[in-house]
Amino acid sequence: MFKTEKTLRPADDGFRMPAEWEHHSCCWMAWPHDEIAWRGRHAEIKEVIASLAQTISVYEPVRMLVPEQSLEEARKVCGAGIELIVQDLNDAWARDTLPSFLVGPGKNLAGTDWKFNGWGDMEYCNWDRDQHLAESLCRKLEIPCYKAPIFNEGGAVHVDGEGTVICTRNTLLNENRNSGKNEAEVAEILCRYLGAEKVIWLDEGYDQDETGGHIDVITAFAAPGKIMHLSCDDPADPNYSIFRENIRVLESSTDAMGRRLEVIRIPQPPARFEGDRRLAISYMNFYFANGAVILPVFGENTDSEVIQIFTRVFPDREIVPFKRAATIFHGGGGIHCVTQQQPAL
């Protein structure tokens, strides 16, 4: 039953956010309706989003939220097999604007609705409608909607499903999101609204990442006690010192269960620019589908090495290279940023 919970917290009711490798009932996506983020690539991104949806649909159902005025276009571009659901929205960033799905006692589903202000009111976005998407979807699904008291986006946090959250200070403690709140206060809220026990903080994310340092661009849990992080071998690259420090922190950290983390280094693809703007292209912005990993690749020499690493790390999953991911990164995000898994019950 849909209800908004403004005072109760999910953890108090026994809810937790599952790890992304746990089984999904479907993948949610949103149609790239607003041109502003795509900087002249709006027509192309529609085809790329449709292609990604079709790729994921081989492994799990895909449900696409689409504004009514774009429904006919989306139906034509997406083709058969993608369920289209009418929803007023701004853009395609489902990871950041849809609820963080939770599972609880009795195999019940709920959602955390984070406060959303367009990544700190970023220049290249409209967000007047997207700030209401999480509650709207919870209402459609008739599930409880827990209203979190901080600004956050789904791509700013990763969980292992066993009590551990990882995020960056540069995002969640930024003045443009949670001014006046300290690290301990934000950590407590994250734990209570994700059903977790411990937060591991990294200082910074990817150099020039437009989101302000989202965790899902640089690192991801691969399994309990095991985490992957980008590595950079060029001392002249700003990411060199950022990633070295992050890896140092991770290697000296334990998770909520007391396990020391095993860190797997993933090569950073060569830097790519659009004018003076560096694109935050990354292999870490992938999507766990049922039985597969949808992995962004960029036509770089590092692609084959990364595919081999992912094949070793996930021997029970098919590694599916997605070759059109760079277009999504031109808009400021990647595969993980435009997808949101709904856990199976």
pLDDT (0 to 100) of residue 227: 98
> What pTM, to 2 d.p., does this model score?
0.97
Q: What is the pLDDT of residues 133-176, one digit of tens each?
A: 999 999 999 999 999 999 999 999 999 999 999 999 999 999 99
Contact 168, 202 (CB under 8 A): yes
* Span 1-10, average pLDDT: 78
What does the pLDDT read at residue 206?
98
As a whole number, the mean pLDDT across the chain is 96
pLDDT of residue 124: 86
User: What residues does 93 pair with on adjacent strands?
Assistant: none
Tell how far CA 306 is from the center of its chain.
Answer: 20
Banded model confidence at residue 87, pLDDT cuts 50, 70, 90: very high
* Catalytic pick among 26, 138, 232, 337: 337
The token pair at 199 is 């937060």
Structure tokens that stand for 288 in this block: 């766990």
User: What is the per-residue pLDDT across 233-278, written as a single tens digit (0 to 9) for each?
Assistant: 999 999 999 999 999 999 999 999 999 999 999 999 999 999 999 9
pLDDT confidence band for 8 (50 / 70 / 90): confident
**pLDDT tens per residue across span 171-194:** 999 999 999 999 999 999 999 999
Amino acid residing at 160: D
Check if the beta carbon of residue 251 is closer than 8 Å to that of residue 259. no
If DSSP codes are grouped into helix, strand and coil, which group holds residue 109? strand
Contact 327, 334 (CB under 8 A): no
Catalytic, 78? Answer no
